[in-house]
Structure 1
Amino acid sequence: MKFTVVGAGAMGYRYGVLLQDAGNQVEFVDTWKPNVEKVRQQGGVFVSRDHQNRQLVPVKLFYPEEYHGNPDVWIFFTKQMQLADFLKRTAHCFNDQQYALTCMNGMGHVEKLLKYFKPAKLLAGTALVATVLNGPGDVDFIGARGAGTMNLANYTEKPDEMTHKVVAELKKAQFNPNLTTNFMGTLMAKVVFNSVVNTLCTLFEITMGEFASYSGADELSRQLINEAYDVCERAGVQMLNTRQAELDSINYVSKVANPLHYPSMYQDMSHNRPTEVDYINGYLVKLGQKYNYAATTHAFLTHLVHLAEHTRQQNAVKTHNK
């Protein structure tokens, strides 16, 4: 099968490289010039696993405007705020026969993708897979091969033959995919997960394991989970997990699967890049408002993340002016 990965960042590289290893034809599209030029200079991307066994993996990486491929499946792993631009710049390659797959963090991407792909050909889900982009052309896969899981669903909630073929390739690449027929519930499970772990670890600049080791971690998690589930219930979203199962998932990933991992929001914050908090906690706040429910804790955390961003920007200006 032929895949094209849009967004050659941490997760884009992980999905693309492992699908390539599984025997698929894979190409990458990215807009970050240092990344594209570094990959071309060194002839591929350097891949490590848990900071070890760094090796160069040959990949084909293009800017959107120069790409003219025709994949069976597009895989989208951009930041939420970057997706619209990526789609516009790559649209000359889209056609009615292609499928789109995405496991991006947060919410807001589905509506954008539906402007270019048929509902029956849109697959979306969540990935509990930890990966770090060390720099241009240099990525670190966290966890042993086969670690992590993912859930995905058709937008129409009616899996077709092509969907099962995609799932089969994801299994070969050891992503442990779980195909569901609950589209919104599948996506919202990761939103709730990220609204706890990503946000709190980012604010306190700690790993997932350090968060989980705090004696009050479960109480913090429950407050955020309960508020998020209250929102989803009012919006008519049937969640995949019970509230307790969601807490258990947070604890398992934080304590067992990836205790040394800094979430992607922390990685953005630490590099002074905009975070996706508006598409995670902020999304829950806006969804609650539609149904006259005030998700006050999520609103408070959204403001705290933006305050942290603002503070870092102010400190950067002060340092520059010294």
Structure 2
Amino acid sequence: MKLKYTVLGAGAMGLRYGILLQEAGFDVDFVDTWKPEVETIRKQNGVYVSRDGQNRHLVPVNIYYPEEYKGDTDVYIAFMKQMQLPDMLKRSAHFFKKDQYMVSGMNGMGHIEQFDQHFEKQHVIGGTALIGTVLNHPGDVDFIGKKGAGSMHMANQTEKPDDETHQIVADFQKSNLNPTLTTNFMGTLLSKVIFNSVVNSLCTMMKIPMGEFIQAPTAKQLSKQLINEAYDVCERAGIKLLSSREEEWQTIHYVSQTSNPLHYPSMYQDFSRGRPTEVDYINGYLYDLGVKYHYEATAQNFLRNMVHLAEFTGNFDLDKYVKSIQDQEK
């Protein structure tokens, strides 16, 4: 049986997953709540896709607002910002069915509990995605890396993969998404959170791509400080990660230097456009989890607060502030 897929969130990663599945021969729909994205794609009759800025071409896709979607799908793929997910799920709940599956490679933590309100735990597949993609503007996406670049890990929430899970993994493999199925749910998710707590946050603070970050003389020391704190937290929480501390560092090094050196992480993409970042769901999650087990991941918390400071200063209206002071002095 060929599965039908519906992507919730037609942003950078949602488009990459959906378009690669579509190009591999699968039936794919897209659902989004962002009006500029939906209307632009409809107006131009598809999405403009390039790879590393080259070979820009139009790919026809089907896209809907949640309220108008009536498709009967087998598998949902969710790629939303953590802050946007509650609204998407609320507006989409009318077409969810008990036997459907939810797969997600979203950044950070917080989404699984929300999926559990709509789907059986056996049907919730958590994933990670080491795949760089940039949404240049509505209806225009750039796949970073050569064809077949990137990889992902997946795990059923119950850690007992069934036949449909294996079919999803096979479909993803056919679509060049390079999946690896594990039976370690939290370890799978936290491994990516730790990766993002280093690369996303530091690249955002310095406003640099991954390849520039990894060339810095301090990159290794900063990375290992954050990795060690995160691993200390997970050990106290009883979470067994997929790799050792050294292997986590080697993954960061390889992806930054070889796989995606030109890529600006998604957190920076949000920050540079004046949007809220997901730092509370990444560095903040690790710090809060540590506190729960009487451990303070101070470097993680410091970096979270520094990103928030950068968000504040980036949106600070100095002229308005000066005028308010002048008005008070009158």
Shorter-chain TM-score category?
over 0.9
Structure 1 residue identity aligned to 2:105:
C
Show the counterpart of 2:296.
Answer: 294
Q: 1:148 aligns with which of 142, 150, 154?
A: 150
Give the Cα–Cα distance (whole angstroms) in 2 for the partners of residues 137 and 213 of structure 1. Answer: 33
Q: What are the residue-to-residue correspondences of 1:12-23 with 2, within 5 Å?
A: 12-23=14-25
* CA distance in structure 1 between the aligned counterparts of 2:72 and 2:287, rounded to whole angstroms: 39
Q: Flag the structure with larger Rg.
A: 2
Matched, 1:308 2:299: no
1:138 is displaced (CA, Å) by 0.4
Instruction: Rate the CA distance shift 1:316–1:100 in 2: closer, same or farther, 3 A.
Output: farther
Structure 2 equivalent of residue 101 of structure 1 = 103
- Unaligned stretches of 5+ in structure 2? 324-330
Q: d(CA) in 1 for partners of 2:266 and 2:250? A: 21
Which residue number corresponds to residue 87 of structure 1? 89
The alignment partner of 1:181 has SS state of: coil
- Give the C-alpha shift of residue 316 in structure 1: 7.9
Q: Are residues 1:210 and 2:212 paired?
A: yes
CA distance 1:308–1:317, shift in 2 (3 Å): farther
Identify the residue that residue 167 of structure 1 maps to in structure 2. Answer: 169
User: What is the DSSP-based 3-state SS (H/G/I as helix, E as strand, rest coil) of the residue aligned with 2:276?
Assistant: coil
2:70 match: 68
Change over 3 Å in CA distance of 1:317–1:258 after alignment to 2: farther
Q: Which residue of 105, 112, 133 maps to 2:114?
A: 112
- Equivalent position of 1:275 in the other structure: 277
TM-score, with structure 1 as normaliser? 0.98
Partner residue in 2 for 1:223:
225
Structure 1 residue 315: deviation in Å? Answer: 4.0
SS at match of 2:83: helix
Q: Shift of the alpha carbon at 1:91?
A: 0.3
* Amino acid in structure 2 at the alignment position of 1:161: D
Whole-angstrom distance in 2 between the partners of 1:234 and 1:125:
23
For the residue of structure 1 that corresponds to 2:287, the secondary structure is helix
2:200 to 186, 191, 198: 198
What is the distance in 2 between the residues matched to 1:278 and 1:156? Answer: 26
For residues 24-67 of structure 1, the C-alpha deviation after alignment (integer angstroms, 9 at most, x for no partner) is 00000001101100000000010000000000000000011111
Q: Is 2:159 the counterpart of 1:157?
A: yes
Which residue does the alignment assign to 1:35? 37
Structure 1, unaligned stretches of length 5 or more?
none
Using the TM superposition, give the Cα deviation of residue 318 of structure 1 relative to its aligned residue in structure 2, in angstroms: 5.1
Equivalent residue letter for 1:166: I
Query: Paired residue for 1:255?
Result: 257
The C-alpha deviation readout for 1:141-192, integer Å capped at 9, x for no partner, is 0001100000000000001000000000000000110000000000000000
Of residues 126, 132, 142, the one that matches 2:134 is 132
Q: How far apart are the structure 1 equivalents of 2:180 and 2:244?
A: 17
Q: Which residue of 2 aligns with 1:184?
A: 186
Instruction: Report the CA distance shift for 1:209/1:315 in structure 2 as closer, same or farther (over 3 A).
Output: farther
2-structure distance, mates of 1:217, 1:95: 46
Structure 1 CA distance, aligned partners of 2:171 and 2:319?
Answer: 47
Q: CA deviation at 1:317?
A: 6.9
Over aligned residue pairs, what C-alpha RMSD do you find? Answer: 1.1
Q: CA deviation at 1:70?
A: 1.4
Shift of the 104–316 alpha-carbon distance from structure 1 to 2, 3 Å rule, reads: farther
Counterpart of 1:143, as a letter, is: G
Residues 82/267 of structure 1: CA separation in 2 closer, same or farther (3 Å cut):
same
Between the aligned partners of 2:318 and 2:49, the Cα distance in structure 1 is 31
Q: Which residue of structure 2 lines up, in the alignment, with residue 51 of structure 1?
A: 53
> Aligned pair count?
320
SS in 1 for 2:316: helix
1:80 counterpart SS class: coil
TM-score, normalisation: structure 2? 0.96
